[in-house]
Amino acid sequence: MARQFPEDGQRRVVIEGVYPAVEGGRYPVKRILSDVVECSCDLLSDGHDSLAGRMLFRRSGDHAWQSSPLVARGNDRWSATFHASEIGRWEITFEAWIDAYTTWRLGTQKKRDAGQDIQVELAMGERLLAQAASRTDGELSTLLSNAADATGDRLRSADARLDAAVCDDVVRAMALAPNLANVTRYDPVLSIVVDPPLARFSAWYELFPRSCGAHGKHGTLGDVVRRLDYVAHMGFDVLYVPPIHPIGYAFRKGPNNVLTAGPNDPGSPWAIGAKEGGHKAIHPDLGTLDDFRRLVREARARKIELALDIAFQVSPDHPYVREHPNWFFQRPDGTIQYAENPPKKYQDVYPFDFECEDWRGLWAELLDVFLFWVGEGVRVFRVDNPHTKSLRFWQWCIDEIKAVHPEVIFLAEAFTRPNLMYALAKRGFSQSYTYFTWRDTKAEFEAYLCELTEPGISDFYRPNFWPNTPDILPEHLQHGGRPMFVLRLLLAATLSSNYGIYGPAFELMEHVARAGSEEYIDNEKFQLRSWDLDRDDSLREVITRVNAIRRGNPAFQQARQLTFHRTSSDALLCFSKRAEDNVVLVVANMDVYRAHSGFVYLDLGALGIHERESFQVHDLMSDARYHWNGSRNPISLDPQRSPVSVFVVRKKIRSEHDFEYYQ
């Protein structure tokens, strides 16, 4: 009976458990420019032979692979790193093989040490070296060929012959001349998206341009330029503005979301499109494309990226409705289906029909909206409700943009079920909104951050924590007063490397909601607001300090490593972060209505502190310094002064002159 055999039957090494890989490699992993990317796998083979392997890596699109040798980490685990030296998509895979030379070398040395005869072994060594010489050329081949001759030279002693075969030069040379006849290559290739640093570490400030005007007048892009120094001084690096396009008139909403707008009501910026244009146009009251270009330029001069809000929905007045009625769902009566969540109707907005016949035309146009604004200098997009548009569209659209503009960053504004939020991140969103806004207790934060920082999630999902948004004034901010605002700010800014606030509502502690809701009263979504930025009680200086602390401490600039520490009270949340030498420790009083004193029980190992070492903790908020010792240390937090201590942890260093100081 003729048997079928696999092609790779002689390959004795198998490669398993590859890392990093999202869903077994179906989706790319995310990393940041300049990361040293650690990749690992299990190498397994029968018997006791020595194995060797390498990680292969390349920029996507390159033909040639670069390689880095795999190093054994114990228990069959091997790892290697590569330097993510350019943004864009990279590919990695693994190769491994039986290392016959090392197997022979270690075995023969043991036999020699045990006093056994090694004549036959030396002949085997000669053969291995000669084969390696014939696989190579130039100096390497000469070296190996000479080593083969010396190993086979029966006029020399066995010891001298073995030494010739196993000296350091030869070991190094043999590592360069592996026998790859039966190499195992891992399949499939794994993808890694390397983003600019802003994707991992960013502080966002959201404002409504139309509320930036003086004396209650409709603000302009020029007014936003004049607001830039205010934003830059606080230390933000992304300025995010709601949609800046013409706003529809049909079914326009009035203040506080009433169904009929007055003649002077500006409408919601998310009801996009009017006769003046759609997603590629600028609302005439805001200014011109030239004004826009100037805003992008002036912001960048202050190290601020302008983030546009892309909301793929249209008002009934949008030009698309006339030009491409086939992109929308047609009702049997010939009308276009408006948005609804029965029995609620949102007649001011038409959704696109991603199952329409002309889906390719629709996709191409939506992609073109992004590319238009990228062409005008935009590098950051906040995408409105991406979970109500096709997941396959996002994967394609983001891939298409990043293939040409790998520096572009996308924030997914999806407040929906966890699996769907993760599914969007897997398909390319660089950052994602989270449930931070509704997490209240210590237990909730510990559980949530453990989830977000586990590698299976943090490899593709980058959280962006928001204490408030124009859509959400959470209940705790309605009632907690200034201490609660400070608490939520500091939790967002220290738990997550990406965070943002909706201002000036946040720094001015706007806290009145429409009755029974988590919606701001007199919401800027439906009307202009005028803000007194210079109010004495503004949180502006607290925010400035927090952002400075984040910039000064690399531990706050990553979201993948975080350790919670035990405390004596459910009111006291304690966590630390580390980035090489920089160690920060945050203790928060979660109960802003009263002072709490107690103890933290530190996991000293997580802080890099030895058991009996004393250390300094320096509260970067109050500038107080404490000398701590061992695991158990006292803490006292009065929310009226500050609900949170943000410590940098400094080890004691003993100088050569026996003078002690803190690093």
* 61 near a copy of itself, judged by CB under 8 A: no
* 326 near a copy of itself, judged by CB under 8 A: no
Decide if 317 contacts 273 (C-beta within 8 A).
yes
User: What Å distances lie between residue 431 and 239, 427, 497, CA to CA?
Assistant: 15, 11, 11
The smaller minimum CB distance to a copy of itself, of residues 148 and 562, is found at 148
* 341 near a copy of itself, judged by CB under 8 A: yes
CA–CA dist 489, 491 (Å, integer): 6
* 351 near a copy of itself, judged by CB under 8 A: yes
* 113 near a copy of itself, judged by CB under 8 A: yes
Decide if 474 contacts 511 (C-beta within 8 A).
no
Rg (CA), the chain: 31
CA–CA dist 497, 598 (Å, integer): 28
CA–CA dist 577, 559 (Å, integer): 9
* 403 near a copy of itself, judged by CB under 8 A: no
The smaller minimum CB distance to a copy of itself, of residues 6 and 516, is found at 6
CA–CA dist 55, 96 (Å, integer): 9
CA–CA dist 620, 271 (Å, integer): 44
Q: Which of 206, 237, 384, 510 is catalytic?
A: 384
* 6 near a copy of itself, judged by CB under 8 A: yes
The smaller minimum CB distance to a copy of itself, of residues 316 and 503, is found at 316
- Of 90, 328, 363, 465, the one binding a copy of itself (CB under 8 A) is 363
Tokens encoding 120: 């036959």
How many of the chain's residues bind a copy of itself (CB under 8 A)? 69
* 481 near a copy of itself, judged by CB under 8 A: no
> In this structure, how many other beta carbons lie within 10 angstroms of the beta carbon of residue 149?
14
* 16 near a copy of itself, judged by CB under 8 A: yes
User: What Å distances lie between residue 541 and 102, 499, 545, 547, CA to CA?
Assistant: 63, 17, 6, 10
Work out the burial of residue 623: count CB atoms within 10 Å of its CB; fewer than 13 is exposed, 13-18 middle, 19 or more buried. Answer: exposed
* 346 near a copy of itself, judged by CB under 8 A: no
At its nearest, how many Å lie between a copy of itself and the CB of residue 419?
4
Closest CA to 432 of 451, 450, 418: 418
Work out the burial of residue 612: count CB atoms within 10 Å of its CB; fewer than 13 is exposed, 13-18 middle, 19 or more buried. Answer: exposed
* 12 near a copy of itself, judged by CB under 8 A: yes
In sequence order, what are the residues at sequence separation of 6 or more whose Cβ sits closer than 8 angstroms to the Cβ of residue 4?
A: none
The smaller minimum CB distance to a copy of itself, of residues 42 and 153, is found at 42
- Of 400, 407, 471, 603, the one binding a copy of itself (CB under 8 A) is 400
At its nearest, how many Å lie between a copy of itself and the CB of residue 230?
38
The smaller minimum CB distance to a copy of itself, of residues 9 and 61, is found at 9
Question: SS3 breakdown of the chain: % helix, strand, coil, rounded to 5?
Answer: 35, 25, 40
Per-position x/- string for 408-447, each x denoting binding to a copy of itself as judged by CB under 8 A, each - no binding:
---------xxxx--x------------------------
Work out the burial of residue 582: count CB atoms within 10 Å of its CB; fewer than 13 is exposed, 13-18 middle, 19 or more buried. Answer: middle
CA–CA dist 96, 214 (Å, integer): 67
Decide if 462 contacts 425 (C-beta within 8 A).
yes
Q: Is 384 a catalytic residue?
A: yes
At its nearest, how many Å lie between a copy of itself and the CB of residue 53?
15
Stretch near a copy of itself under the rule CB under 8 A, chosen from 110-118, 467-475, 535-543, 611-619: 110-118
Q: Is 446 a catalytic residue?
A: no
Tokens encoding 624: 């107080």
* 23 near a copy of itself, judged by CB under 8 A: yes
Stretch near a copy of itself under the rule CB under 8 A, chosen from 238-246, 268-276, 393-401, 478-486: 393-401
Stretch near a copy of itself under the rule CB under 8 A, chosen from 112-120, 258-266, 434-442, 484-492: 112-120
* 130 near a copy of itself, judged by CB under 8 A: no
User: What Å distances lie between residue 589 and 458, 459, 586, CA to CA?
Assistant: 27, 30, 10
* 108 near a copy of itself, judged by CB under 8 A: yes
At its nearest, how many Å lie between a copy of itself and the CB of residue 359?
6
Measured between alpha carbons, how far apart are the two ends of the chain, in Å? 75
* 389 near a copy of itself, judged by CB under 8 A: yes
* 364 near a copy of itself, judged by CB under 8 A: yes
CA–CA dist 336, 316 (Å, integer): 9
The smaller minimum CB distance to a copy of itself, of residues 124 and 604, is found at 124
Tokens encoding 33: 């420019």
- Of 343, 611, 654, 655, the one binding a copy of itself (CB under 8 A) is 343
* 154 near a copy of itself, judged by CB under 8 A: no
* 59 near a copy of itself, judged by CB under 8 A: no
The number of CA neighbours under 13 Å toward the Cβ of 636 is 2
Q: Which of 195, 413, 507, 524 is catalytic?
A: 413
* 110 near a copy of itself, judged by CB under 8 A: yes
Residue 277 gets the label, from left (phi > 0), alpha (psi -120 to 50) or beta, of left
Q: What residues line the site for a copy of itself (CB under 8 A)? A: 3, 5-6, 8-12, 14, 16-17, 23-26, 42, 44-48, 75-76, 98, 106-108, 110-111, 113-114, 116, 119-120, 123-124, 126-127, 182, 331-333, 335, 340-343, 351, 354-355, 359-360, 363-364, 367, 387-393, 396, 400, 417-420, 423
Q: Which residues does the annotation mark as catalytic? A: 384, 413
